Amino acid sequence: MVDERGTHDHDHDHDHDLTFQPNIEDSEPGHYELMTYAIRELLLAKDHLTPEELRVAQEKVESLENSDGSKVIAKAWTDPAYKKRLLDDGNKALAELGIDAGAAKMTVVENTEDVHNVVVCTLCSCYPRAVLGMPPDWYRSKSYRSRVVIEPRAVLEEFGTVLPADMTVRVHDSLADLRYLVIPKRPDGTEDWSEEQLASIVTRDTMVGVTNPSAS
């Protein structure tokens, strides 16, 4: 874990995965990547899309497999006993819902009024795929991996997440044998919502900790 002062609670003398993900910024973009970038910039320049609309659309495409994670969070929000079990032993609690988290330990952290958690893997792209599917490009990028441990608030603001000045930000660095899942803070105004309704507002980015769910 890294706090806002940039101190770790573990060293980096360990193996993450057998092969490291390439730094996306260091790779030459292909033809289709360049075309996609050009079209995106044109849509933004012509005000056909806002940056937020683009981010939400991209997240939906990239997180088609995160329904299991959304259901886990919705249950944690509505079942205090299950949330306690999830925080105590993530792997075991996930198994209750038929989710196999694999050999890696799944550590679950909770956002509160005073603490905001965000997840990264500084050396490669260790990611809770069992509940979130494949990691998005930005999570694997050198920029995110290097900056979020140094200036987490600035990075979060780029995702549209502005936190109170007195809130503690904790950055959790994943390992080959350790994954993190964030329980985002439940939005106000959802007290009477069903688990299905709650699951619909839980996205991949909220479970990584770069955004917060919204009831609107």
Higher pLDDT, residue 100 or 3: 100
- Residue 39 has a pLDDT of 83
Tens of pLDDT along 156-182? 999 999 999 999 999 999 998 999 999
126 a catalytic residue: yes
Note if 174 is an active site residue.
no
141 catalytic, yes or no? no
Residue 194 designated active-site: no
Closest CA to 174 of 151, 203, 136, 145: 145
**pLDDT at position 23, please?**
42
What's the token pair of residue 109?
Answer: 């952290």
3 state SS of 214? coil
Q: Looking at residue 20, what is its pLDDT?
A: 31
pTM of the complete model = 0.74
pLDDT at 60: 60
Task: Please give the average per-residue pLDDT across 124-146, as a whole number.
Answer: 89
Q: What angle do CA 77, 91, 114 make, to 5 degrees?
A: 40
pLDDT at position 43 is: 85
pLDDT at 185: 98
Q: What pLDDT is attached to residue 22? A: 37
Residue 145's pLDDT is what? 94
Residues 56-70 pLDDT 10s: 776 665 554 566 899
Query: Of 153, 130, 149, whose CA–CA distance to 67 is shortest?
Result: 130
Give pairs for 137-146: CB < 8 Å, separation 24+.
137/24, 137/62, 139/208, 140/21, 140/24, 141/23, 141/24, 141/25, 142/23, 142/24, 142/25, 142/26, 143/25, 144/120, 145/120, 145/121, 146/122
Q: Which of 27, 63, 70, 124 is an active site residue?
A: 124
Q: Which of 63, 70, 121, 174 is catalytic?
A: 121
pLDDT tens, position by position, 13-41: 333 333 333 344 444 555 545 676 788 78
Lookup: tokens for 10: 């573990």
| Higher per-residue confidence, 211 vs 19 | 211
Measure the N-to-C terminal CA separation of the chain; round to a whole number of Å. 32
Of these residues, 125, 174, 194, 200, which one is catalytic? 125
**Per annotation, catalytic residue among 63, 70, 126, 141:** 126
- Is the pLDDT assigned to residue 152 strictly greater than 90? yes
Average pLDDT of the segment spanning 114-137: 91
